Amino acid sequence: MRAATPALPMTDEQRSVLEKLIRSRSAPHRDVVRAQALLMAADGFANTRVAAEVHVSPASVAAWRERFAEDGLQNFSAVRPGRGPKPSIPAEKVEEIVRLTLHEKPDGETHWSCRSMAKRVGVSSSTVQRIWAARGIQPHRVETFKLSTDPKFEEKLVDVVGLYMNPPREGDRVVHGRKEPDPSVGPQPAEPADEARPGRHDDPRLQAQRDHD
């Protein structure tokens, strides 16, 4: 049996730096992806699982693990000569996609789709999907929100979008952001009996009095 991949050793300080990086809205996309991969590796996930989650190859994850084990966070953003694919999407393009997703709407639509965003910024639909996945963004059903100047708006948006990243089970429905059971699916539990219903007298003395009336 193949031995499990050991968790990547990581200090609390290193973890804190990487966690701040993945929450950043201005960090380069490749750094966000790498930080996510390293954090998962530190939590004990296998390279194949990490690769599937962040949409890279297992070989890339293995190389990042090796480099982190050797250098830590030193030269974290640097690309070793001759290693790894050349970035095909400029960081400015990635940030434009994030900004448009969170702060603008396509003409005549309530939210962006991969296709409409790809057409707007001139990249492929799969590229848009990978960027959204890496940043934890899914723009579905955000039409109930108004674009805001609130400095914490992006955080609030991501919190609500989380509901649609983990959709309700069958038989549940979403009403104004709350999940409620669908009364048409399955039996509903009986309501508890009213212990003090008006007009009901269970005192034995009262019962005896009625019996003698």
d(CA 191, CA 194): 9
Give the per-residue pLDDT at 93.
86
Q: Find, among 4, 84, 1, the residue nearest to 43 by Cα.
A: 4
State the pTM of this model: 0.41
Give the per-residue pLDDT at 79.
55
- Rounded (10°) angle between helices 29-42 and 125-135: 50
Contact, 190 vs 201, CB < 8 A? Answer: no
Q: Which amino acid is at 150?
A: D
Contact, 56 vs 69, CB < 8 A? Answer: no
Domain edges within the chain: 12-71, 91-179
Q: 59-115: per-residue pLDDT in tens?
A: 999 999 999 998 888 878 765 555 555 556 788 888 899 889 888 888 888 889 999
- Report which DSSP code applies to 142: G
Give the per-residue pLDDT at 86.
52
Mark residue 47 as left, alpha or beta (left: phi above 0; alpha: psi -120 to 50; beta: remaining). Answer: alpha
